[in-house]
Amino acid sequence: MNISRRTLLRSSVAASAASMVGSVAGPAFAASDSVTIASLYDLTGGLNVYGAPSNMCTEFAVKELNKAGGLLGKQVVLKAYDCQSDVNKGPQYAQQAALSDRAVMAVGALTGAAREATRPVLHRYKVPYFYGSIYEGGACEQNIFCCNTEGNQQVVPLLEWSFKNLGKKLYYIASDYNAPRVFGLWNHVMAKREGGEVLADDYYPLDVTDFTAAIAKIQAAKPDFIHSCLVGGPSMSFYRQWAAAGMLNKIPIISIIFGGGREPEILSPQETNGIYVAYNYFQELDTPQNKAFLARFAESMGKDHTYINGEAIGGYTTVMLWAECVKRANSFEPEAVRKAWESGITWEGPGGTMVTDGPTHHTIQDVRIIRVQDRVWSLIETKKQNPPNTYDGRCNVIAHPNQTEWLMPQT
């Protein structure tokens, strides 16, 4: 699923004429009574289980803004593209959003491969990219603003808790592409830090449905707990087969992705009970802010809406944090929006306090360790105001404005 920089530079998307490069939004919205934002989520295909709920939350954010009078006297128009779970659609639609729609910001392109294919296009046309998916971390450039959890904010708290409460021996089973492999590096970082041990790094293609051999390997290794980073519909077979083998109540499972694809709704409680995850948000969160948010959401989007999980909520927080930047800047211009983010904005959302971090273009936020039982999530522990990873100071887009280097955790 990785796309090389050379391939991107050769693509027709990234090779647009130099005369068209630059911010294309300014003249279009200056005299208009509306501004357009673009969403690039997967509404169909194998990834729509993640993309459709995220886009739903984006739609709600736009409705909230417009109900409150819009932004700077203008209504916000959402142009939703369907990337169809095809990594090539992201850059294609990003160019269309920039040139045809004159979008003032974009969200979506949720997988690592889709993000990295789309990011150079939005950078080229200076369309601010507010990224709302949980991800492995490492994106560090001026034009991307990461609004959900990244590697160290999610996996570090979960592994700290797990090594303390579940045991010291970890077995990692994951889908075989970039993000799970980076998360796999964090296992080794945290095992070294917490006095633990990674017994295995076991990767499988996204289309694998038979995990019989994998389960046998886990049983033979005898870990204290499993860290699962299995992604997509086919991977749900692992949880069914694990439970069928009588292992669900014998070896605990932790994950930073389980639940993001509605697994507890699709699988039975007997196949999922007791799994631990870490997210910045879950719908059962018992706070006044979240209760008020859910009441407004149900009124606007319907009471039977899809469950809002830690992945989907990114569709809401991206738009609202962008709106806060626009308000502070009193402008939709990309440079003004960037400077507003870098000035440090505190926003109270349904998941609690979020603070924009200037040098990294990520956010400081709470992370919760939660456990599922009978399709209901309950809170185990809250890690307050987790800062983003600076990669030992290497990620600083203020000091290094031309930085685009992809950063990796140091093992």
How many Cα atoms within 13 Å fall on the side-chain side of residue 197? Answer: 8
What pLDDT score was predicted for residue 216?
Answer: 98
Tens of pLDDT along 222-275?
999 999 999 888 899 999 999 999 999 999 999 999 999 889 999 999 999 999
- Taking 80 as the threshold, does the pLDDT of residue 166 lie above it? yes
Tens of pLDDT along 354-377?
999 999 999 999 999 999 999 999
Please say whether the beta carbons of 151 and 182 come within 8 A: yes
Q: Is there a shared CATH topology between the 5-150+287-365 domain and the 152-279 domain?
A: yes
Each domain of the chain, given as residue ranges in start order, spans 5-150+287-365, 152-279
| Domain 152-279 coded CATH 3.30.1370.60 | no
Residue found under tokens 């738009």 = 319
How many angstroms separate the CA atoms of 92 and 99, rounded?
A: 11
What pLDDT score was predicted for residue 405?
Answer: 80
- Per the prediction, the chain carries an average pLDDT of 92
What pLDDT score was predicted for residue 232?
Answer: 81
Instruction: Tell if the pTM clears 0.85, that is, is over it.
Output: yes
Alpha-carbon distances, residue 165 vs 68, 70, 143, 200, 369 (angstroms): 46, 47, 40, 20, 12
- DSSP-H helix ranges across 211-359: 212-221, 236-244, 263-266, 269-272, 288-301, 314-329, 334-342
Tens of pLDDT along 82-125?
999 999 999 999 999 999 999 999 999 988 889 999 999 999 99
The CATH-assigned architecture of domain 5-150+287-365 is 3-Layer(aba) Sandwich (3.40)
The sign of the torsion formed by the CA atoms of 209, 215, 218, 223 equals positive
Mean pLDDT throughout 32-50? 94
Q: Read off the pLDDT band of 3 (50, 70, 90).
A: very low
